[in-house]
Amino acid sequence: MIAKLLPPGEDLCCEPLTCTRALAVIPVANRPLGAAIRARIEAFDGPVLAQRVDCWLADSCLRALARETAAILVLNGEEMAWVSANGERPAAAPRIQAGEDTFRIRYAWDLLRVNEQLVGALTESVIEGELSDRATVEGVLVLGAGSRILPGVYVEGNVVIGRNCKVGPNCYLRGNTAIGDSCHIGQAVEIKNSILMGDVGMGHLSYCGDSIVGKGTNFGAGTITANFRHDGKTHRSMIDGALIDTGRRKFGSIIGDDVHTGIHTSIYPGRKLWPHTSTRPGDVVQYDITE
């Protein structure tokens, strides 16, 4: 099918990531979201499929749409995609109800769900960089050209690492993690189920779990993103003055571009740091930092 991307809904709430970039260019599995959507659509035969960029279609929905010459996909009463001969909304067409595996990308944490699907679906390692023979890989590793994985690094599950990165020594990388180009992951850092954009520095003895970290951000040594509530309930995050249930039992932080944390910074689950903000050494981030 030929892909046509439609703009997101007006209720998109993906800040602090979308205050510096469009949703379509936010990376998932180390490629822009828009490119990932296009690739999935073009893998199916059929007419032109127009899809909102803030919607992730299940494979079953893509297959159903590919069988139609004109149809409209509806999720919770909203039109998310349609097929037609030219990509324009068909004036009269059957309406297909989306299944439960199709979901809106409305909040920043929804991008983690997309990343989990894409990275988790990888089945074959591709090593273009330098992988130390004293590193351990138990899963699938995609390692970009010019990147180095030093001794003692342990990779568990599926992990994607971009170009010109340095990882280690003695790091623990857990699926489903995507690390962008030109990142430096220092001694004894643990990263789990997270998205790191390009040029991120993650200093030694830090932990990043179930989080998204913007381009150019630097973690001071010992920075920790907490990702689990003591009571085991799902996390909530503040959006426009209201606490929104993320639906996630494990959820860390959403961190914008060019953020700098002081050493030994501790970040409560579900907190967000806006671009160009910073913390002092030993800070405990209990609330979103917007300026």
Catalytic residues: 204
Q: Cβ of 54: how many Cβ atoms within 10 Å?
A: 21
Count of Cβ atoms closer than 10 Å to residue 74 Cβ: 15
Containing H/E element for 39?
Answer: helix 33-42
d(CA 162, CA 182): 7
The DSSP call for residue 203 is -
Any idea what the Cα angle at residue 185 is, between residues 221 and 147, rounded to 5°? Answer: 160
Phi, psi of 63 (to 5 degrees): -65, -40
Return all residues near 235 (Cβ < 8 A) that are at least 6 apart.
Answer: 227, 229, 245, 246, 248, 249, 250, 251, 269, 270
Q: Beta partners for 39?
A: none
The rounded distance, in Å, linking the Cα atoms of 36 and 141 is 19
Going by C-alpha positions, the residue among 150, 161, 162, 229 that lies closest to residue 188 is 150
**Strand pairing partners for 178?**
160, 195
